[in-house]
Structure 1
Amino acid sequence: MLRRVLARPAPYGPSAELRALVDGYVAGFNRYLSDTGVARLPDPACRGKEWVGPITATDVWMNLLDLGRLGGSSSFKEAIAASGQAEEQAENRKEPNQPDRTVPSKTVPAPGSNAFAIGREATRDGHGMLLADPHFPWNGSRRFYQVHLTIPGVLDVSGGSLYGTPVVQIGHNASVAWTHTVSHAQRFTLYQLKLVPGQRTAYLVDGRPEPMGRQEVSVTVRNAQGQINVVTTTLYTSRYGPVLATGWTEETAIALADANAANLRFADEWLAMGAARDLAALRRAQDTHQGMPFVYTLATDVGGEAYFADASVVPHVTDEQAERCRAKDDPEMLLLDGSTSDCLWGKDADAIEPGIFGPAAQPRLTRVDYVTNANASPWLANPKAPLTDYPRIYGDTRTERDLRTRVGLDMIAQRLSGDDGLGAPGFTLETLQRTATGKRNLSAELLRPDLRALCRATPVMTATDGEKVDVRRACATLTAWDGRARLDSRGAILWREFFLGLNRPQRRPDGTVVPPKSWWKVPFDPEHPLTTPRGLDTANPAVPAALADAVRAFTADGLPLTLTPGKAQRYGSVPVPGCTEGEGCFDRIRTGGALSKEGRYPDVNTGSSFMMAVELTPAGPRTRTVLTYSLSASSASPHHADQTELFSRGQWVTERFTEAEIRAYPRLTTTSLR
């Protein structure tokens, strides 16, 4: 696969410039490793390890290819790799037709994001502004590193890049800034193969049999005893893509068609976006390469326009075709009939390749006030101009928005009206930063008034198991709480545990588990998507039970009801502010599990990662950044938690972009390599 992609000319395969950039990245990595030596590497996790060695361009290309598949086949690796085992086990069974019949569901990448692109009519000085707030993992291979790439006269771009990639994915140059959020569009479809009777590795298309492809793959692995062995497995493929181990029966099998399976175009697209001088050039870059793998694009320029697009790679499945070809009635999964060529992906004249939608079909919006996204569908990128005319495979319309989307839209509305307490209406760089890190909790804003009323009427509430619990002290704590998720917000953790309890499935006396009944007082209304649902249905017995359960848990563990985020959540030794997405927090965080008896959550592992606020002025960009988990993953580095401490205190780094700004830095050092 990779060989075929690399053999294609640009823009279908990598450009000469991108190839040179990858080669330079590899040379730089290997030069550092050679000069330093494996035994002298500063990170103890790598120092002296036998698996550390030079890399090749193939390693970088494979990492990029895997990144592009994050919304598709990268999530199905185990099911793809196990297809040979599934076939072998089926052949050895005495009773036929007994394999795993489950069908994989639609998967959505774990990372999220927030983004504002602010146009000239929404800023005080008439400049374009951008907020980037990607929510990526704090550990592992998908961390960002900060970089400023300069090739005099060719490229001058600053921002964040993911480990192992040589291009800036989120960033700005002198006149354009852009960011991404994870798109709601689907990257793949599943195809149900109708197997030839008596042949588990052949399937029918338009009544004619087609044999599955078969490939032997050998991998070197280390077992639990530390021994190294070579394991060989068989992979099966179809005209649609790899066959999955899951769902393979005597009559049918499931194949995965991934629109990004052979896509490396996004790397050249990011390179071209980094060189764009205005939004028109950025749009041309996207139309030329059509490679964004799984993200929306939000951008602005020095002229003060704001741009939203789902310019990503999306399978060409129209609404009509989806209904006609659907092999299983499941709204969460697009399983198509693989027995007829009528259900193959369609073609657009303006698409770079068959099988994906072209630019004309993509949801796009250009404004001079703002566009925004927090991983919802394109529908309300700007509520004044709802986007509706796009295929459903891109996302839904007129459906309930999650609380993070709603709080982000409300933050913009309050800034434009001046009702947020940050001064005169309109964004400045400073108010953009303060808006982004305000630590609002929308669930509390919507529900706390009704909970207070319930507290006044019912000072003793009944827990899930029927025990009576005095909640007066808890009610007083929640009443006095500032409603935010700052380090010192007393009551924020009690609220979280109460809110989690509201959404927890209920166990009946007979042991059956039922999903929670809606506790909203006012249900969702598509005519009022920004203000519904709202209010707390205090007549729902799950509401007092959730508070009673939370209070009893705190009391049993000896935890103060005033427990703060600064005490309960950390990254290493650094306290971390913020709250969860479900609560309606904008710059949300996620921990690895439940609150312990000591009043601590596991370390923060996901959330705001590379935050960037940019104002594009005629004199040059003004930029503030913070890499929430800091630049170094090594616990031995002085830069392992330095920016995390800034993030903890709500502080940012002032970027030095121009040559004059860089030279003015008092601790500047320069290293020249030949």
Structure 2
Amino acid sequence: MRNCPSRRMANARRFRRWWITALVAALSAVTVAVVVVTDRASTTPDGGNAGYQATIRRTAYGIPHVLARDHASLGFGYGYAFAQDNLCVLAERVVTLRGERSRYFGVADLDSDIYHRAVQESGLVRRLLDRAAPLGPTRQVRDLVDGYVAGYNRYLRDTGVARLPDPTCRGKDWVGPITASDIWHGALEVNRQAGSGTFQKDIATAAPPRARPSRPRPVPSPDPVLSSGPVPGSNGWALGREATRGGSAMLLANPHYPWTGSNRFYQVHLTIPGQLNVSGASLYGTPVVQIGHTAGLAWTHTVSHARRFTLYELDLADGDPTSYVVDGRAEPMRQQRVTVTVRGADGKARPVTRVLYSSRYGPVLATGWTATTAFALADPNAANLRSMNEWLAMGAAQNLAQLRAAQNTYQGLPFVYTIAADSGGTVSFADASVVPHVTDSQTRRCITTAQGRARYPGRFILDGSTAACAWGADADAVEPGVFGPGRHPRLTRTDYVSNSNNSPWLTNPEAPISGYPRIYGDTGADPGLRPRLSLDMISQRLSGADGLREAGFTLETLQATTLSGRNHSADLARADLVAICRAHPVMTAGDGTRVNVRQACDTLARWNGRSGLDSRGAVLWREFFTRLHRDAGAKANAERRAPGGEKAAKDGWWRVPFDRDDPLTTPRGLDRDHLAARRALAETVRAFRDSGTSPAVTLGEAQRRGAVPLHGCTDLEGCFDLVEPSGPLRSDGRYPEIANGSSFIMAVELTPQGPRARTILTYSQSANPASPHHTDQTELYSRKKWVNVGFTEHEINSDPELRTTTVRG
């Protein structure tokens, strides 16, 4: 039957009855504080009633559950709630994206401003917004962004810059209303983080050599990591019906992301009745859930091993370093003149202008630009706004088939794997991210230059002098230059899939993935300590060897396993180090100093190898292992450069070297005859002695966020529950503030009665130091406690800390 007017009226009446019932339930279940913010109706989003209207229900730890009738109103409620908690962080991010940091904060941010101003003035975002979906945003995503901006601005207008609760930006002249363009530029920059964003300085400072001949400069070689902070990482597990005791699928999300700045997660629950009901977390300033769950599906992401960009080596035209040769013909580089305003030390503003250069492949880089050669960056995410479409569609999916349909349609995930589970008990892994279309045969044809060959496979430097080396195309790809879904490494199981930032190869060792192009990652290589630990933790839980009751996962044992505090380097090498120091209680440092290590040896012998708050030995081990890794690595490199030194250096200090036929248990053990371990322990003990710090200092004494002691250890040590301080141990026996690590941790079970979710946002919901939600979850994390997050109306309305705000605009 067609949707006749009477049926539409009946549907409208049912919706109104539902809305009133839901709101009354929220108000009557418990005593709540209600704040109603109203304004004149201004728009007609999604074809519905004029104006924005949303209900923000905050439960324990300040988690907002935003309820609205359409995407625009949902965005309005989300933007308002986020501004209440983190307006200052987003306001500063907007200054960055507009290329205005130098205007407000000084010349130190000039390169960032040049880069971002160039993106702004290129008109790229405007052109992308003019495209139809899937290449451009869907109507729902556009409405969500517009509403988000309106909600943020409404909170700012009602509160006033001078009365903002966060002293970080209260009264500052750089705080003001934002625009939809700011959010879209932010989404683009998120997608560029592993490509163009890494090369901001190289792009902003590129200039041709002034004279010929010029002195050669090295080829650019940054790793594809976030330019704004430490290397991101993650752990992700999807546990199918064969791996759980109750037969319900489970998912563990454990992204390792920065603890400061705008690359943080914000926890939220977004609901449009009958259209969307998704709970999880978003990166600051993005109004879509990027890691989360619905009633029938849960998913997470880990940073993919695939190469996010390629470099093209340009053969410059004779006598003209701003032209390059392709197929025998010279092409002039495109030039963009960019001007930013800089505040000097005297407080006066002055313009600074630079010229940026680009090629048919992408921007030309400063590093490596000589009179004859230059390098251009080709980034497949440079014009990618599709990710917002994809995450919103994933947030509406109820099973793996719908998840895959969303990913196949939009193909916009910028640099992450997807690990997912559905209520049917099936789990999946996919690298459905944006990867340059460079096949293995193309690498053989196009990595032909001396620099390219020297750096492959670590770098993909293609020959830019021939058009035949341009990226390829797949018929099922949303656009040329990237691999289509038919090429994505995938695995679907009913036991488990996992990833800890290793390649797709060992997603599940029972079914290794292979046959993908090498640009996606390696096979047969050492996966690293943390990925090995991750797989060992799963294996021990499935067999019951970890001591956590019966074999197989429950939600409770999943939580306990996640925060068990294992340190895999200690698992593999501590016993050998204790044996070495028992045999050699006085060791020789690198400068010949003799050091007594007996006390340190006793501490290591008594330590249980875990990174708990009361662990005595965890700090000592970290300092030893970090020094061993650094010093032995430097020595090995020197030995390799020496004549005949290759054999002496190749095995390092591991007793059993890596064996590709036994990748889960090798390398292991310390070579007890290798002097590197003795030297590293001697120098570590001497450093403790010189600073007056006891080698038996507990981890909780040394590692804190503010006054909150923290468990966890570093990626280098092979730790699952990751905590990375921003610098080395200080002379006062304390590490500096935490830079990154476990961030939004989510354990969810998809039961027939609905999802059961437990979460921790390690750095808490609000960056405002005056907020009650600035450290509350950090303190919870310190005690290894979790938040029981409500998903159903009954669970939300039953929360004893429920507070409701209705916002209209």
What is the TM-score of this pair, normalised by structure 2?
0.81
Q: Which residue of 2 aligns with 1:472?
A: 598
1:235 partnered with 2:393: no
1:231 Cα deviation after fit: 2.1
Distance 1:450 1:163 in 2: 45
Distance 1:585 1:235 in 2: 42
**Which string of whole-angstrom CA distances, capped at 9 and with x for unpartnered residues, describes residues 625-671 of structure 1?**
11101111111212111100011111111101111111111222211
Distance 1:301 1:663 in 2: 26
Identity of aligned residues (%): 62
> Using a 3 Å threshold, how does the CA distance of structure 1 residues 541 and 198 change in structure 2: closer, same or farther?
same
**Kept after mapping to 2: 8 A contact 1:591/1:602:** yes
Q: Which residue of 1 aligns with 2:156?
A: 33
1:181 partnered with 2:181: no
**Kept after mapping to 2: 8 A contact 1:508/1:514:** no
1:18 partnered with 2:141: yes
Q: Which residue of 2 aligns with 1:633?
A: 767
Q: 2:674 aligns with which of 521, 540, 565?
A: 540
Distance 2:278 2:180 in 1: 23
> RMSD between aligned alpha carbons?
1.7
Q: Which residue of 2 aligns with 1:295?
A: 416
**Which string of whole-angstrom CA distances, capped at 9 and with x for unpartnered residues, describes residues 2-34 of structure 1?**
111111100011001100000000000000000
Distance 1:226 1:281 in 2: 56
Distance 1:658 1:107 in 2: 40
Q: Which residue of 1 aligns with 2:440?
A: 319
1:555 Cα deviation after fit: 1.9
**1:284 partner letter:** A
Q: Which residue of 2 aligns with 1:488?
A: 614
1:456 Cα deviation after fit: 2.8
**Secondary structure of the equivalent of 2:755?**
strand
Q: Which residue of 2 aligns with 1:63?
A: 186
**Kept after mapping to 2: 8 A contact 1:505/1:514:** no
**Kept after mapping to 2: 8 A contact 1:505/1:513:** no
**1:580 partner letter:** T
**Secondary structure of the equivalent of 1:120?**
coil
Q: Which residue of 1 aligns with 2:215?
A: 98
**Secondary structure of the equivalent of 1:200?**
strand
**Secondary structure of the equivalent of 2:534?**
helix
**Which string of whole-angstrom CA distances, capped at 9 and with x for unpartnered residues, describes residues 17-71 of structure 1?**
1000000000000000001000010110110000000000000000000000011
**Kept after mapping to 2: 8 A contact 1:186/1:314:** yes
Distance 1:507 1:500 in 2: 11
1:663 partnered with 2:797: yes
Q: Which residue of 1 aligns with 2:87?
A: none
Distance 1:105 1:500 in 2: 22
Q: Which residue of 1 aligns with 2:519?
A: 393
Distance 1:665 1:452 in 2: 51
**Secondary structure of the equivalent of 2:804?**
coil
1:508 Cα deviation after fit: 10
1:194 Cα deviation after fit: 1.2
Q: Which residue of 2 aligns with 1:72?
A: 195
**2:693 partner letter:** L
1:366 partnered with 2:492: yes
1:522 partnered with 2:648: no
**1:436 partner letter:** T
1:597 Cα deviation after fit: 1.4
1:261 partnered with 2:382: yes
1:201 Cα deviation after fit: 1.6
1:227 Cα deviation after fit: 2.6
1:187 Cα deviation after fit: 1.3
1:507 Cα deviation after fit: 11
Q: 1:193 aligns with which of 307, 311, 314?
A: 314
1:598 partnered with 2:598: no
Distance 2:564 2:347 in 1: 49
Distance 1:501 1:315 in 2: 37
**Kept after mapping to 1: 8 A contact 2:198/2:222:** no
Q: Which residue of 1 aligns with 2:719?
A: 585
Distance 2:409 2:600 in 1: 58
Distance 1:508 1:602 in 2: 25
1:249 partnered with 2:383: no
1:651 partnered with 2:768: no
**Secondary structure of the equivalent of 2:578?**
helix
**Secondary structure of the equivalent of 1:611?**
strand
Distance 1:209 1:655 in 2: 61
Distance 1:627 1:135 in 2: 11
1:228 Cα deviation after fit: 2.4
1:313 Cα deviation after fit: 0.4
**Which string of whole-angstrom CA distances, capped at 9 and with x for unpartnered residues, describes residues 446-495 of structure 1?**
11222222233222222222222222221111111111000000111111
Q: 2:552 aligns with which of 420, 423, 426?
A: 426
**2:293 partner letter:** H
Distance 1:108 1:78 in 2: 14
Q: Which residue of 1 aligns with 2:258?
A: 137
Q: Which residue of 2 aligns with 1:458?
A: 584
**Which string of whole-angstrom CA distances, capped at 9 and with x for unpartnered residues, describes residues 498-536 of structure 1?**
111211226999xx8989871100011111100111111
**Which string of whole-angstrom CA distances, capped at 9 and with x for unpartnered residues, describes residues 536-580 of structure 1?**
101001111111111222122221221111011111111111111
**1:645 partner letter:** E
**Secondary structure of the equivalent of 1:201?**
strand
Distance 1:481 1:155 in 2: 49
Q: Which residue of 2 aligns with 1:108?
A: 225
Distance 1:178 1:581 in 2: 23
> Using a 3 Å threshold, how does the CA distance of structure 1 residues 513 and 555 change in structure 2: closer, same or farther?
farther
> Using a 3 Å threshold, how does the CA distance of structure 1 residues 507 and 391 change in structure 2: closer, same or farther?
closer
**Kept after mapping to 1: 8 A contact 2:653/2:671:** yes
1:216 partnered with 2:337: yes
**Kept after mapping to 1: 8 A contact 2:219/2:375:** no
Distance 1:223 1:70 in 2: 29
**Secondary structure of the equivalent of 2:497?**
strand
Q: Which residue of 2 aligns with 1:120?
A: 241
> Using a 3 Å threshold, how does the CA distance of structure 1 residues 507 and 443 change in structure 2: closer, same or farther?
closer
1:105 Cα deviation after fit: 4.0
* Number of residues of Structure 1 aligned to a counterpart in Structure 2: 667
Q: Which residue of 2 aligns with 1:411?
A: 537
**1:592 partner letter:** S
**Kept after mapping to 1: 8 A contact 2:746/2:760:** yes
Q: Which ranges in structure 2 are unaligned for 5 or more consecutive residues? A: 1-123, 642-648
Q: Which residue of 2 aligns with 1:207?
A: 328
**Secondary structure of the equivalent of 1:365?**
strand
1:101 Cα deviation after fit: 4.5
**Kept after mapping to 2: 8 A contact 1:507/1:514:** no
Q: 2:167 aligns with which of 33, 36, 44?
A: 44
Q: 2:746 aligns with which of 602, 607, 612?
A: 612
> Using a 3 Å threshold, how does the CA distance of structure 1 residues 188 and 409 change in structure 2: closer, same or farther?
same
**Kept after mapping to 2: 8 A contact 1:184/1:394:** yes
Distance 1:42 1:513 in 2: 58
Distance 2:767 2:514 in 1: 43
Q: 1:147 aligns with which of 268, 271, 275?
A: 268
**Secondary structure of the equivalent of 2:630?**
coil
Distance 2:325 2:634 in 1: 47
Bigger RCO of structures 1 and 2 (CA < 8 A, at least 6 apart): 2
**Secondary structure of the equivalent of 1:670?**
strand
**Secondary structure of the equivalent of 1:371?**
strand
What is the TM-score of this pair, normalised by structure 1?
0.97
Distance 1:260 1:505 in 2: 37
**Secondary structure of the equivalent of 2:486?**
helix
